[in-house]
Amino acid sequence: MVTQTLVKEICPTTTQGRVRDGALVVDVREKDEVAQFAYDVPNIINIPLSEFEDRFTEIPSDKEVIMVCKSGGRSLRAAGFLVNHGYPNVVNMQHGIIRWIQKNFPTIGDTSSILSISTNESCCVTNTSTTPESDSNNDSNSNSCC
């Protein structure tokens, strides 16, 4: 379980509400991952983590920003990076698009690969594990996302 206090974290359900209120979603997955399937929300930009240091200034600092990725690990690092660069209103979405898909929230693309490994974990009830992200082992295995 990742324990940190630098960045506030929210669950996908809370993210839905914040998006409705106009928050900007920043997806830090790589382009090939986004091409496979993506979040279907109105205010979203993709800045891959591999380009993030060079492009983070594209993110407005006067808006609420919600960082997202596949399972919440990479986006947490990127959120910390923004906080360290003075962004005042940045949160990380725990559990990433894996949980987003499991919650049947809107997506674009073929999500069958995620659904096939889905364990029907709920966002807001106790669970014992999450599906690990292939390139990152620091993803949150928090027992609750809310």
Partner 1 sequence: MEIKVLGTGCSKCKTTYNNVIEALKETGLKANVVKIEDIEEMMKYNVLTTPVLMIDDEVKVKGRIADIKEIKEFLTA
Binding site for partner 1 (CB under 8 A): 2-7, 49-50, 52-53, 73, 76-78, 80-81, 83-85, 135-138
Q: Which residue, 81 or 100, is less far from partner 1 as judged by CB?
A: 81
**Residue 46 CB, nearest approach to partner 1 (Å):** 15
Closer CB to partner 1, 73 or 96, in the complex: 73
CB-nearer residue toward partner 1: 38 or 76: 76
| Residues contacting 143, CB < 8 A, separation 6+ | 1, 126, 127, 128
Radius of gyration of the chain (CA): 14
